[in-house]
Amino acid sequence: MLYRKLSALPLMPMTPNIPETTKKRVVIIGAGFGGLKIARDLADSEDFQIVLIDKNNYHQFQPLFYQVATAGLEPSAISFPLRLAFHHYKDVHVRITEVTELRTDSQEIITQLGAIRYDYLILAIGADTNFFGQKNIQEKALPMKSVGEALGLRNRLLENFENALVSDSDDVRQGLMTVVVVGGGPTGVEVSGTLAEMKRHVLPKDYPELDFDLMKVYIVESGGELLGPMSKNAQIKSKEYLEQLGVNVYLNTRVTDFDGKYAYLNNGEKIRTNNLVWAAGIKANFIEGLNPEILARGGRIKVNRYNQIEGYQNIFAIGDVAFMTEDAYPNGHPQVAQPAIQQGKLLSKNLPRLLRGNPLEEFTYKDLGSMATVGRNLAVVDLPFWRFQGFFAWLTWMFVHLMSIVGVKNRLLIFINWLWNYVTYDQSLRLIIKQKSPKVDD
């Protein structure tokens, strides 16, 4: 009875509890690749106090979300606790909350914990799934822009196989087992290729009673090729590899609707599936309080070559959310990890220059290349000086991603998982993990 009375009382306002200091305060919103990079680079600065804000208490390695979704890795293997990254830095303060508003006149942000003052503000808030206004798809499709969503996809797929096992209808079983992946970028290619390999080598051992001829894997791309930004050879080879694995590749085709049982295509075809994985587009996140006139295509924020937001001297945007043009990139930089990391690195050098009134260095993006894995021993790699495909490309992809993971322990866990998977053809992580919340009395 006492619990019910207390729970009915209004919550007291919270406070961020950040100590005041004579140092200039740099508030970083977002702990993705760019936000984490600049926070680590400035962590031992004598000039700045760092406040890192994220809604999660961990950094997540987005390029491997698809391996969590397909039971190749556990979520903890691609996530790194933020507080662990800053154990030895007394002037770095991590706060787990969501930002609801910017107040540029008073130089503060409003969070669920309360107001936080800033001297310099860095928006590294990334991007979210873009459903292009298709309400049914937004409500029923499976996105994959966070560890939580990847885990949700894994749960859905595994639960569907359990349900298919006890169904007495081939139509129902086909719907439960078939997967349509929308989007022919690296994520779509990697998800569909992994699912096709699971169909061949893993799932029949788990579910010997099921007829896996009923399971189909589709990838649907609205453009004329897969991996659009990559080289022609990479586009051709990725399609060839997927078709070798048994994936049905649809190019110049759009999914126009999804009702939970059928995916409807613009060519009039419909595909029986309960599983639509949406990897078709992204849109930049936005926080209220900025001038809406600074928004560019895809909701990105216009910035100059120093990552300063147009109209603001002490507010910066980096990574996916920033729209910066160069002669080589008139439509902005690609929304991948490297621009965010490189911008974060340069901004950590420019902030002390700005503080002292020294000239700032302009940002120039250095394209280190792009790559995608399609399946076992199959990948495509485009480097500035060399383009190659196949087994060596697959090894290169694994090495680059392994070295990019934050934390030695995580690298070791991933390497062991990959080695075990390669030897046994078995991820052995096919667990359905459901959240259970404690019951609260009315």
Active-site positions read 190
Confirm if 340 and 318 have CB atoms less than 8 A apart. yes
Q: How far is CA 321 from CA 43, 282, 300, in A?
A: 23, 10, 5
Q: How far apart are CA 164 and CA 171, in angstroms?
A: 10
Q: How far apart are CA 122 and CA 347, in angstroms?
A: 9
Closest by CA position to 78, among listed 146, 8, 133, 173 = 146
List phi, psi (to 5°) of 258.
Answer: -150, 120
Entry field: residues in the chain? 442
Q: How far apart are CA 400 and CA 387, in angstroms?
A: 15
Q: How far apart are CA 281 and CA 132, in angstroms?
A: 8
Reduced 3-state DSSP string for 36-88:
HHHHHHHCCCCCEEEEEEECCCEEECHHHHHHHHCCCCCHHHHEEEHHHHCCC
Taking the CA of residue 350 as centre, how many other CA atoms within 13 Å lie in the half-sphere pointing to its CB? Answer: 22
Closest by CA position to 278, among listed 110, 142, 419 = 142
Closest by CA position to 305, among listed 358, 337, 346, 334 = 346
Look at residue 32 and give its three-state secondary structure.
coil
Q: Which two tokens stand for residue 167?
A: 């169904």
Query: Residue 162, Cβ neighbours under 10 Å: how many?
Result: 12
